Amino acid sequence: MTGVQPVETACESGEPLPDVTHWKEFVCGGGAAFCNIIISYPLNKLIFRQMMHGVETTFALNQLQKEGAAYLYRGMLPPLLQRSVSMSLMFGVYNEVLQPQLNYCVNPYVAKTVAGLVAGCVEATLMPFERIQTLLIHPKFHKEFKNTAHATRHIAGRYGIKEFYRGLTPILMRNGPSNAMFFIIRDEVRLLLPPQEQVLYKSLQDFLAGATIGAFLSTLFYPLNVIKIAMQCELGGPHRTVAYEFSYILRKRGSKFANFYHGALLNISRAFLSWGIVNASYEVFRKMLYA
């Protein structure tokens, strides 16, 4: 990830920045996401249940225990594919959009914001994976859909392509701004942290930096995820707006905005772990590929 100092050097010298993007950034992002999903999927599923039903942790945990271990990793293939490709696009597209702007000495904060928004919009094209995962995790579809392929054929045959993109608006509202904020804050934090020579300390520092930023942003955009899941738990019928879904959930949960944050504590733990793994893994892959 390029920081602020290379931008100043390029602008002062008039020379373009070295090209450090291309396929390597895409591989680093995809590899980091793969590591993250394998480790954190059970926790993600538990948080999903809390978002979906607005229940406490113990109730959601009891649900998963009653369903048994056979269903614990059910629905993992879509997020594994989606997140691997999505993170690949997040880091890769971000750098592809960022570098030309920095070469022309665009204000680095403006450049990072634009690059983050573009990367977020490109990521949103993969939302059918997220859509199928939601249906596979929902208990009422356990007997209706056997697996990812079965759910995909059913939706495409009966409802068409549009049904795969139910809930697109909250995803766009989440992806772009959160990406831009992640990269801006990440670069600022890296400038403040002391350089580490030992690999272990460097990885720990990367983990803690990514974990803290990810937990903060995940909490900030948590209500949008609640709205997105509520939209995607439906199959067929009208596509409701974000405003309608927000009002409906608010009324359903006692007209208290705080009730949008059921599962938020676990979500912070999940985001802390996930983004810590992503950031540390990304840096490890990057060091290997750019060595």
DSSP string, 165-189: GTTHHHHHHHHHHHHHHHHHHHHHH
- At 138 the pLDDT is 81
Vertex 73 angle, CA 70 and 74, to 5°: 80
Nearest-angstrom CA–CA distance, 99 and 112: 10
Vertex 125 angle, CA 124 and 127, to 5°: 65
pLDDT value at 8 more than 50: no
pLDDT value at 5 more than 50: no
Share of the chain above pLDDT 70, in %: 90
pLDDT grade for 15, boundaries at 50, 70 and 90: very low
pLDDT grade for 260, boundaries at 50, 70 and 90: confident
pLDDT value at 39 more than 60: yes
- At 42 the pLDDT is 77
Those residues whose C-beta lies under 8 Å from the C-beta of residue 2, and which sit 6 or more positions away, are 17, 20, 95, 98, 99, 102, 187
Nearest-angstrom CA–CA distance, 181 and 214: 10
Tell me the CATH architecture of domain 4-290. Alpha/alpha barrel (1.50)
Q: Which residue has the tokens 């803690």?
A: 208
Query: Which amino acid is residue 277, in one-letter code?
Result: I
How many Cα neighbours within 13 Å face the side chain of 247?
A: 4
pLDDT value at 19 more than 90: no
How many Cα neighbours within 13 Å face the side chain of 171?
A: 24
- Which tens digit of pLDDT belongs to each residue from 101-128? 998 889 999 999 999 999 999 999 988 8
pLDDT higher for 259 or 209?
Answer: 209
- At 53 the pLDDT is 67
Nearest-angstrom CA–CA distance, 281 and 266: 22
